[in-house]
Amino acid sequence: MAIDLSQFHQVFFEESFEGVGVMESGLLDMDPGAVDAEQINTIFRAAHSIKGGSGTFGFNDIAAFTHVLESLLDQMREGRRQPTSEVRTVLLRSVDVLRDMLKAASGGSSPDDESVKHLQQELEEILSNRERAAETEKSDTGPADPDTHELIGWHLVFCPLPNIMRTGNDPLRILRELASLGELDVRGDISQLPRFEHFNPEECHLSWDLRLHASVEQSRISEIFDWVEDECDLVILPIHAGDPAPLETTGQSLVPVAALPELSSVKAADPPVDRRAGNERRRTDRRTGERRTQGVVGSGSIRVDTRKIDNLMNMVGELIITQSMLSLLGENFKIEQVERLKDGLDEMARHTRELQESVMQIRMLPISFAFNRFPRLVHDLGAQLGKQVELKMTGESTELDKSVIEKIGDPLVHLVRNSLDHGIETPADRLEAGKPEVGRIELRACHKSGTIVIEVRDDGRGLDPELILGKAVEKGLVDAEAKLSHQQVYELVFQAGFSTAENVNDVSGRGVGMDVVRRNINELGGSIEIESVPGRGSAFIIRLPLTLAILDAQTVYVGEEVYIIPLLSIIESVQVKPDMINLVAGRAETYKLRNEYLPVIRLYEVFGVEGYKARALTEGILVIVEGEGRRCGILVDELIGQQQVVIKSLEANYERVEGVSGATILGNGLVALILDIPGVMRLANTSLEPRTLQWSA
């Protein structure tokens, strides 16, 4: 029975992308000229895992490229090559190519063959230069000491776990790869095979006693098993010339694993490699759910801590018990059981709320998945701009919804690039300003008041209000006589086409980006604001909801219609006072709130609602809201209450509606529209009609 390996492709790609991230992170942390064995081993293992998996699943071009990359890493691991800046640069470029190859393979497309071929040739050239140097060095040192105790082979015991084939690994392929190193004697153990009626062809119940007659380095043997080190018990023992013959096994059964260290004479300098303890620890971690939760943003799946799954199952169990109790109560219901019915419904509501929270926890991922691209970005862009920059990230374990992480990445990239290009000065300018030569960019994340706050801070030159205002006047965005606060001036950078850059480069300067950043953040139901001190630095502060699936909201009446206003957009709600109302140029109404004049939007006019009650401002409630850095008052008939609502997309079944971000189904079965506050403001600007003030009788 052939196993369909395509069922494992998704897992392979997820783990491979994680491996690429591990390689990139390790290379960025590497100190050129200094060998950190553990660091290089980590990078090597990630590359070897990708090579092994790609070979197993038939992605031979990826396996071939990674093999060359792995060979270079192997030289560094064994101390035969120093991790110079030049080598690290080539390896980072190789990581980029490998990532592109994986993306192409996962999407069913073809990679850029020219780039792959060019970089593979560059890697092979580096390798061939080192090998020629090694041969020259060997010939200069003369023949080896004839008294050296000669290594003539290896004795291995390979005991796969039953589920090894379910993860896409084939023990036969491993044995074939081992046989490529030299003559291999193989003895199989079938003692653990189950009876035929219990046999599962997708499980492995075989193990092998292996003797490799080849004086190869132990690392070459170990790397063959790196891909399955979590899926097997393995012992590797050296065989030297003059060693006594190893004990033979009886029949088809192997010597018990506990007795394996006695199979041959082992020198203290050559300890056996026994991975059973490490494998057992990793398996224990998986059983207890303590393995680090990982995922690949943008993929169709995510890895979940087993404790979250267990908690979800507990909640479902409690819900089923309560549902059964209510069903029994309903079969022979009597009026005196009303209190018991109310208690049951309260319990059902509590369990439903807990179930909702458990499901949302499953979708939560650490924001490190959005942050992990920035060390490479800062490294490459700093070198391109001739700036020295240190990146500090805090709050990487802060969790938020997977869908939010997927959509916040691009805005953050633009903000970090802006900080590097416009904020951080060159080393010479920083020294002249009395600052350290190395600039600093910080990425911070934390939870505050039911939202997530992300900050991008730098210690650069900061924003110059006079320069920004001058550019805005020059472009006709504001009147030359306008009197704006610093915060209002900073808001101008979010205008489309606005830029203070003197020169346009491939990093920034075209005025395209900051308006898109704000629009993308608003589409997530969030907001962005700026703090800056000229000469000392700037901070862009983003506030986002934890999830896009459920919204904390205020429900309001306008006529017979119910609308939903996100709580994140609401500042306060006020009863209108007649002496605070003003009419501007016979067209728009404003409301004076603490010395600030806010435009008033009558929601019934924007959406054409009939049967509205608040014909005069004093007859309704003014909900003060904020969107895209602007504030206004939205006139509604009545406030209903605050509640959590489940967001349903309109675009999936209809099309995008200006001023509406989605819909929800209320408890009475009616559909209510969720307001997009910036969209409502845009609609109001085009729908306002000249009017006279209306006062209540």
Question: With helix as H, strand as E and coil as C, how does 453-507 read?
Answer: EEEEEECCCCCCHHHHHHHHHHCCCCCCCCCCCHHHHHHHHHCCCCCCCCCCCCC
Q: Would you state the pLDDT for residue 218? A: 84
| Stated pTM of the model | 0.63
Q: How many folded domains does the chain comprise?
A: 5
Q: Does residue 238 lie within any of the structural domains?
A: yes
Q: Where are the beta strands (DSSP E) in 190-256?
A: 207-213, 232-240
User: Given 504, 528, 545, which residue is the final one in a domain?
Assistant: 545
User: Given 526, 545, 564, which residue is the final one in a domain?
Assistant: 545
Of all residues in the chain, what percent carry a pLDDT higher than 70? 82
Q: What positions carry a catalytic annotation? A: 48, 70, 418
Q: What is the domain extent for residue 660?
A: 550-687
User: Given 545, 567, 587, which residue is the final one in a domain?
Assistant: 545
Tokens of 20: 């690429």
What's 46's domain CATH number?
1.20.120.160
Q: Does residue 251 lie within any of the structural domains?
A: no
Yes or no: say if 329 and 344 are a contact pair by the CB < 8 Å rule. yes
Q: Would you state the pLDDT for residue 556? A: 94
Looking up tokens 């039953």 gives 162
Yes or no: say if 694 and 615 are a contact pair by the CB < 8 Å rule. yes
What's 189's domain CATH number?
3.30.70.260
Residues 565 and 632 in one domain: yes
Distance separating alpha carbons of residues 69 and 66, to the nearest angstrom: 5
Query: Please, which residues bridge with residue 575 across strands?
Result: 621
Query: Which range (48-52, 111-115, 128-132, 614-618) has the least confidence?
Result: 128-132
Q: Would you state the pLDDT for residue 444? A: 95
Residue 564, SS3 per DSSP: strand
Mean per-residue pLDDT, 242-261 = 44
Distance separating alpha carbons of residues 213 and 579, to the nearest angstrom: 98
Whether 24 shows a pLDDT value over 60: the answer reads yes
Q: Would you state the pLDDT for residue 479? A: 83
Residues 221 and 279 in one domain: yes
Q: Does residue 692 lie within any of the structural domains?
A: no
Query: Please, which residues bridge with residue 631 across strands?
Result: 626
Classify residue 276 by burial, with Cβ atoms within 10 Å: 0-12, 13-18, 19+: middle
- Tell me the residue length of the chain: 697
Residues 489 and 405 in one domain: yes
Range picked from 42-46, 56-60, 516-520, 554-558 for highest mean pLDDT: 554-558
Tokens of 473: 């006047």
Residue 39 C-alpha from the chain's centroid: 23
Mean pLDDT of the chain: 79
Longest alpha-carbon distance in the chain: 114
Residues 523 and 555 in one domain: no
Residues 425 and 507 in one domain: yes
Q: Would you state the pLDDT for residue 281? A: 41
Alpha helices in 336-493 (DSSP H): 338-363, 368-371, 374-385, 402-418, 427-432, 465-474, 486-491
Mean per-residue pLDDT, 394-418 = 89
Quick: pLDDT tens for 271-300.
Answer: 444 444 444 444 444 333 333 334 445 556
Query: Please, which residues bridge with residue 528 across strands?
Result: 542
Query: Which range (89-93, 174-178, 571-575, 580-584) has the least confidence?
Result: 580-584
Residues 538 and 421 in one domain: yes
What's 432's domain CATH number?
3.30.565.10
Quick: pLDDT tens for 351-391.
Answer: 888 888 788 888 888 898 889 889 989 998 998 999 999 99
Mean per-residue pLDDT, 128-157 = 60
Whether 255 shows a pLDDT value over 60: the answer reads no
pLDDT band with cut points at 50, 70 and 90 for residue 335 = confident
Of all residues in the chain, what percent carry a pLDDT higher than 90? 18
274 phi and psi angles, rounded to 5 deg = -110, 110
Q: Would you state the pLDDT for residue 687? A: 54
Whether 538 shows a pLDDT value over 90: the answer reads yes
Distance separating alpha carbons of residues 485 and 465, to the nearest angstrom: 9
Higher pLDDT, 263 or 63: 63
